[in-house]
């Protein structure tokens, strides 16, 4: 265990001494390092294994750390029967007062997370907040855990040292939930929750994350319980340390610049987009594509033969063989599999490696991957593509890139080789947001064009004439050029499938819901693409939405599909 010192001068407003341990070689008088305060949960104290492990990791990462026990807990003075969220808010404020001249961050576990929410909503001296399995529905908690017990007579969880008080029950019942207070949290916030938490369900942690209006990040610890036991502890501490370093502006491992002759590139996902990116980078640009992986083993092996490279059997083998790994997968579930799979994933042995994730997925999964990558000393960028197969092969992709700007700058030469248009959008998640908007509007335009051409046909108009007039008026759009003739000819060779259109419109609608917006056009468009999928046409190009709008087609007739 890393050495620490016990503090004896930390007191709350009631003049009760708070038991505290200080980690950090600089000592409490040094004002250089950022200071992280760690608060525990109900019936706990500063010496919980997760708290000690986190303090050690943060100290090693360059932080001063103060873990303390709230009044009445552990070796702190005070009566446990008076321990409530409201009193612990005052305890935390007293600690903040004592170190107000420091750059402060707070990590709160369980009830300590609720304490953080209620404190930080009113106190702007905390610069970053980490909620670890933070309590959200306080009334539910006290009712489900202790509803059959009598305050003043019974004890919590059969522990004589923790009597159940009426003050505790009344306080948590009165607060009811921290969700209404989430919008008041002003500082960047990381929410970390274990999937197997049976004290505070992960759904509550996710609801809290969604309710935040500040800069935020979400990380789920696969298999993690409420106390982040066993392997979950290392996952949690690594992610928290990496996130806090990012918030504090502390430099981690530098990213190497691009050396085309030495850079070894891996590719995960060798569908038509991924495969054509690999062909362009190796055949046209001279990069070394050193490893391929796909759940479709035949596809990976066939492309490996074409590129004279290797198709590996494990994701970790891609990481081991490459410096930079491009991923082109289908959805959030696929991203979770490749980065967080239990037995095999890309983050195994990933220190110093860079991941470039090109899938159109939700912003939150990109943020999770970035955090997890930082936790193992790796780097991650999101780079969704507003382009199709020919652009992938020709290196003329339209790329939107989110993540740390330093990493973007270092890999920009490679991104430039892949694209004709390249935009840096901001922190992790922002490129996915922009891509969701792009595809939402594109899908609306496509569905609108299909309706216009379908009605024109029903009216007996010359469709080519109508198409030309559309192109010279306010009805013009990019999809008129790309999809108009295909709709007329029923030529729906797939460049961007109807199923993907439904998924991407859904991502935009989810973002709208999170921000309190109603988008009826986007919702109606998604319904059209979902209908295509339901009737077995989801594999066709998005232009196949015309099969729902042309009067004589009725969507069930076979469509003329040009062979690839």
**What integer pLDDT is reported at residue 26 of this predicted model?**
46
The tens digit of pLDDT for each residue in 171-222 reads: 999 999 999 999 999 999 999 999 999 999 999 999 999 999 888 888 888 8
Higher pLDDT, 358 or 554: 358
| pLDDT of amino acid 229 | 95
Answer yes or no: is pLDDT of 561 > 50: no
pLDDT-based confidence at residue 254 (cuts at 50, 70, 90): very low
Least confident of 53-62, 352-361, 403-412, 549-558: 549-558
pLDDT tens sequence across 333-379:
999 999 999 889 999 989 889 999 998 899 989 999 998 898 888 99
What pLDDT is recorded for position 27? 43
Closest CA to 382 of 367, 392, 397, 393: 367
Predicted local distance difference test score (pLDDT) of residue 217: 83
Predicted confidence band of residue 249 (pLDDT cuts 50, 70, 90): confident
pLDDT at 495: 86
Whether 373 contacts 347, CB under 8 Å: yes
CA nearest neighbour of 265 among 305, 332, 310, 296: 310
Determine the pLDDT at residue 387: 83
**Tokens standing for residue 18:** 């708070």
Average pLDDT of span 438-447: 94
Residue 560 clears pLDDT 90, i.e. is over it:
no
Dump pLDDT digits (tens) for 374-403. Answer: 888 899 999 999 888 899 999 999 999 999
The confidence band for 247, taking pLDDT boundaries of 50, 70 and 90, is confident
Give the pairing type, strands 64-68 and 126-132: unpaired
Identify the pLDDT of residue 308: 95
| DSSP secondary structure of 411-469 | HHHHHHHHEEEEEEEESTTHHHHHHHHHHHHHHHHHHHHHHHHHHHHHTT--HHHHHHH
pTM, two decimal places: 0.61
Mind giving me the DSSP string for 253-301? SPPPPP-TTT-EEEEE--SHHHHHHHHIIIIIT--EEEEEE-SSHHHHH
In this model, does residue 253 exceed pLDDT 50?
A: no
Question: Per-residue pLDDT averaged across 465-480, rounded?
Answer: 94
Q: How confident is the model at residue 554 (pLDDT cuts 50, 70, 90)?
A: low
Q: What structural domains and CATH numbers belong to the chain?
A: 9-248 (3.40.50.1820), 264-428 (3.40.50.720), 439-548 (1.10.1040.10)
Q: Is the pLDDT of residue 153 over 90?
A: yes
85: pLDDT strictly greater than 60? yes
The pLDDT of residue 396: 92
Strands 189-194 and 216-221: parallel
Nearest-10 Cα torsion for 159, 162, 166, 170: -100
Percent of the chain residues past pLDDT 90, beyond the cut: 76
Note the pLDDT tens digit of each residue in 94-145.
999 999 989 999 999 999 999 999 999 889 999 999 999 999 999 999 999 9
Q: pLDDT class for 558, splitting at 50, 70, 90?
A: very low
Structure confidence by residue, pLDDT tens digits, 506-525? 999 988 998 899 999 999 99
């Amino acid at each position: 265990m890393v050495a620490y010192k016990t503090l004896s001068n930390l007191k709350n407003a009631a003049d009760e001494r708070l038991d505290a341990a200080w980690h950090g070689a600089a000592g409490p008088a040094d004002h250089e390092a950022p200071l992280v305060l760690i608060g525990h949960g109900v019936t706990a104290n500063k010496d919980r294994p997760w708290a000690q492990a986190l303090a050690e990791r943060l100290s090693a990462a360059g932080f001063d750390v103060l873990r303390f026990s709230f009044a009445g807990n552990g070796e702190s003075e005070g009566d446990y029967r008076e321990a409530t969220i409201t009193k612990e808010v005052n305890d935390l404020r007293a600690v903040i007062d004592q170190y107000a001249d420091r750059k402060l961050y707070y990590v709160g576990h369980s009830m300590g997370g609720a304490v953080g929410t209620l404190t930080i909503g009113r106190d702007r001296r905390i610069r970053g907040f980490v909620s670890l399995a933070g309590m959200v529905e306080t009334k539910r908690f006290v009712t489900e855990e202790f509803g059959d017990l009598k305050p003043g007579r019974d004890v919590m969880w059969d522990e004589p040292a923790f009597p159940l008080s009426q003050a505790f029950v009344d306080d948590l019942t009165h607060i009811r939930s921290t969700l209404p207070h989430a919008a008041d949290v002003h500082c960047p916030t990381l929410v970390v929750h274990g999937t197997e938490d049976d004290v505070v369900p992960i759904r509550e942690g996710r609801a809290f994350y969604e309710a935040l209006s500040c800069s935020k990040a979400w990380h789920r610890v696969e298999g993690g319980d409420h106390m982040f036991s066993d392997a979950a502890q290392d996952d949690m501490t690594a992610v928290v340390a990496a996130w806090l370093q990012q918030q504090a502006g502390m430099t981690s491992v530098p990213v190497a610049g691009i050396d085309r002759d030495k850079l070894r590139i891996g590719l995960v996902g060798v569908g038509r987009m991924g495969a054509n990116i690999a062909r362009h980078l190796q055949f046209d640009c001279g990069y070394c594509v050193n490893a391929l992986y796909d759940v479709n083993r035949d596809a990976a092996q066939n492309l490996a033969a074409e590129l004279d490279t290797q198709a590996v059997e494990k994701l970790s083998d891609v990481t081991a063989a490459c410096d930079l790994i491009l991923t082109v997968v289908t959805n959030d579930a696929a991203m979770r599999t490749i980065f967080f799979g239990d037995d095999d994933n890309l983050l195994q042995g990933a220190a110093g490696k860079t991941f470039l994730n090109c899938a159109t997925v939700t912003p939150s999964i990109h943020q999770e991957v970035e955090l997890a990558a930082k936790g193992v000393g790796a780097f991650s960028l999101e780079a969704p593509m507003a382009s199709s197969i020919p652009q992938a092969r020709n290196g003329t992709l339209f790329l939107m890139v989110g993540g740390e700007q330093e990493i973007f700058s270092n890999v920009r030469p490679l991104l430039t080789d892949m694209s004709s248009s390249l935009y840096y959008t901001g922190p992790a998640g922002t490129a996915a947001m922009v891509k969701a908007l792009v595809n939402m509007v594109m899908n609306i335009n496509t569905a609108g064009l299909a309706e216009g051409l379908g009605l024109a046909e029903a009216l007996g108009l010359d469709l080519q004439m109508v198409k030309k007039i559309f192109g010279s008026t306010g009805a013009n759009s990019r999809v008129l050029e790309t999809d108009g003739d295909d709709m007329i000819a029923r030529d729906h060779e797939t460049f961007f499938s109807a199923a993907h259109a439904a998924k991407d419109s859904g991502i935009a609608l989810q973002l709208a819901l999170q921000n309190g917006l109603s988008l009826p056009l986007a919702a109606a468009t998604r319904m059209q693409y979902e209908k295509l999928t339901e009737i077995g046409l989801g594999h066709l190009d998005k232009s196949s939405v015309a099969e729902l709008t042309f009067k004589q087609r009725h969507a069930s007739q076979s469509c003329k599909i040009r062979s690839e």
